[in-house]
Amino acid sequence: MDDIRKDKDYTLYRPILETDKSFYLIITILLAVIAWAGYMYIRQLQAGLGVTGLNRSISWGFYIINFVFFIGISHAGTLISAILRLSQAEWRRPITRMAEVITAIVLLIGAVHPILDLGRPDRILNVFLYGRLQSPLLWDVTAISMYFTASTVYLYVPLIPDIALLRDRTTKFKWLYNFCSWGYQGTEHHKKVLERAMNILMVIVIPVAVSVHTVISFIFSMTIQPGWHSTIFGPYFVVGAIFSGTATLLVMMIAFRKMYHFENYLKEIHFQYLSLLLMIFSIFWAYFTFSEFITGIYGNEPMEMNIIRYKFFGDYAPFFWAMVLLNFVIPVIVLSFKKLKTITGIFWVSCGVIIGMWLERLIIVVPSLSNPRLPYEVIPYIPSLTEWALFLGGISVFCLGFLLFSKLFPLISIWELEEGRTEGLQEAKARLDSYLPDVIMAKGSGND
């Protein structure tokens, strides 16, 4: 058992085997925030949704914004990891696990948000008893539960060989690893079955992921409210989701690289590649935003213009322009210059993108409701302490979940790295050889 300390990948085992004091401190703080959020929610249950800042015309607020936001972030993972695996990008190996963990945890948090938003959470089962499949909310329930199943399985299956490693080489939580590894021994047959399962899953998971955020956008775009009723919303939401997800992945990678000293595994090149993806999606996002508003402005339909004016120059102008700055201007500037594109630079840009994407959700949900078609007097929406508490609680649950996961399972896939060192290297070389015309000679000599 002792040889694990001399293993070249010991850094990856260390978070599981050794825990320092600061970890317990962070956990305590997170638990305190969660307890506070729980207390606030119980108060909301007792009193009613009146404890929020919602009113008659603006009846969707923080809970729905955070629902869209968290589900958006959950696209980081599974989608990115599935695309990288499918395209056989070799640099994916240390990244995929973290991406998948983000998905599983954030998706769970996001899925809870509509329930927080219900006036009668005690009647939630009516959705199954009297569900109307014509309602976009039912499409959501279907798509999210399917995505959650697919993404947790997709997290779990590639985890099995690592659990088997932990079972064989460590003494902690033996019962858990014994149970979760399902007797995986790493034989040829086991490997083949595992690989096939992964291949099937990653093909399934991509359309499911795309469908989830499309369907979430349908909640808004299926109504005839100005600012919501837009055909572009499906792809717009999906792009925004991958955008915010990539940013979250980068933030988590940089944070845990520092915390667990993964410098040897997560190198400059990973951040360069991922931030390139971030920049591409930033430009995509800007393109969609531009198309969304230019059609509205050019068409000059009065109701639509009311809302656009409200976003551009009205009460929501600070949020709107902050969003443009954080989601487009800053990322594109910082990520285009080599000097600025350091790991620190990428970290701050990603944090900005997360905030910017949250603002985007805010700007989609609230202004349409604060500008009703009929000339009502609308009271502006100011979120209450309860809503802030539940927001912070959601973020804390995410951090806590991620930390606890890192204490039970390796955050970087050990077996996939090992596979990369042995098979991946040869495979990549063989693949390159197969399509580069000038190395035919080299290939020929290799065969001799």
Per CB under 8 A, 299 contacts other proteins? no
Neighbours of 448 (CB within 10 A): 4
The least distance separating other proteins from the CB of residue 58, rounded to whole angstroms, comes to: 8
**Tokens (6 digits) for 10:** 């010991």
221-280: contacts with other proteins (CB under 8 A): 222-225
Per CB under 8 A, 183 contacts other proteins? no
Pick one of 5, 8, 43, 56: the residue that binds other proteins (CB under 8 A). 56
Select the span of 14-22, 133-141, 198-206, 273-281 touching other proteins (CB under 8 A).
133-141
Per CB under 8 A, 339 contacts other proteins? no
**Tokens (6 digits) for 355:** 């905030």
Per CB under 8 A, 404 contacts other proteins? no
**254 burial level (CB within 10 Å; 0-12, 13-18, 19+):** buried
Pick one of 86, 112, 137, 277: the residue that binds other proteins (CB under 8 A). 137
x/- track of binding to other proteins for residues 140-159 (CB under 8 A)? -x------------------
Decide if 45 contacts 121 (C-beta within 8 A).
yes
Per CB under 8 A, 131 contacts other proteins? yes
Per CB under 8 A, 82 contacts other proteins? no
Alpha-helical segments (H) within 187-329: 188-221, 233-260, 268-299, 302-312, 317-324
Per CB under 8 A, 114 contacts other proteins? yes
Pick one of 343, 357, 362, 369: the residue that binds other proteins (CB under 8 A). 369
The least distance separating other proteins from the CB of residue 56, rounded to whole angstroms, comes to: 5
Per CB under 8 A, 372 contacts other proteins? yes
Query: Reduced to 3 states, what is the DSSP secondary structure of residue 179?
Result: helix
The least distance separating other proteins from the CB of residue 288, rounded to whole angstroms, comes to: 23
DSSP states of 56-72: SS----HHHHHHHHHHH
Closest CA to 278 of 375, 358, 357, 395: 357
The Cα 124–Cα 370 span in angstroms is: 28
Decide if 249 contacts 266 (C-beta within 8 A).
no
Note the residues at the interface with other proteins (CB under 8 A). 47-50, 52, 54-60, 114, 117-121, 123-124, 126-127, 129-132, 134-138, 141, 219, 222-225, 369, 372-379
